[in-house]
Amino acid sequence: MAVSKTQPLEHIVALYEQGQRLFGENRVQELTTKYEALPKDIEWHLIGHLQTNKVKYIAPFISMIHAVDSWDLIVEIEKQASKSNRMIDCLLQFYIASEETKFGLSYEEAAQIVTQIQAMNFQHVHICGVMGMATNTDDEVQIRNEFRTLHGYFTQMKQDFFSDASHFKEISMGMSGDWEIALSEGSTLLRIGSILFP
Ligand SMILES: *Cc1c(COP(=O)(O)O)cnc(C)c1O
**Residue 3 Cα: closest atom of ligand 1:** 4
**Residue 107, SS3 per DSSP:** helix
Q: What angle do CA 72, 75, 81 make, to 5 degrees?
A: 135
Please state the atom number of ligand 1 nearest to the C-alpha of residue 177. Answer: 7
**pTM, full prediction:** 0.97
Contact 102, 81 (CB under 8 A): no
Distance from Cα 174 to the centre of ligand 1, integer Å: 8
Q: Which protein residue's CA is at the shortest distance from atom 12 of ligand 1?
A: 47
Q: What is the mean pLDDT of residues 145-157?
A: 98
- What's the pLDDT at 196? 96
Beta bridge partners of 170: 129
Where does the pLDDT of residue 99 fall: very low under 50, low under 70, confident under 90, or very high at 90 and above?
Answer: confident
Q: What is the mean pLDDT of the chain?
A: 97
Q: Is 1 helix (H, G, I), strand (E, B) or coil?
A: coil
Tell me how far the alpha carbon of residue 193 lies from the centroid of ligand 1, in angstroms. Answer: 6
Q: Is 33 left (phi over 0), alpha (psi -120 to 50) or beta?
A: alpha
Mutate to test the pocket of ligand 1, among 171, 191, 195, 197 (most ligand atoms within 8 A of CB): 191
With CA atoms as reference, report the closest residue to 178 among 125, 131, 135: 135
Which helix or strand (DSSP H or E) is residue 23 part of? strand 22-25
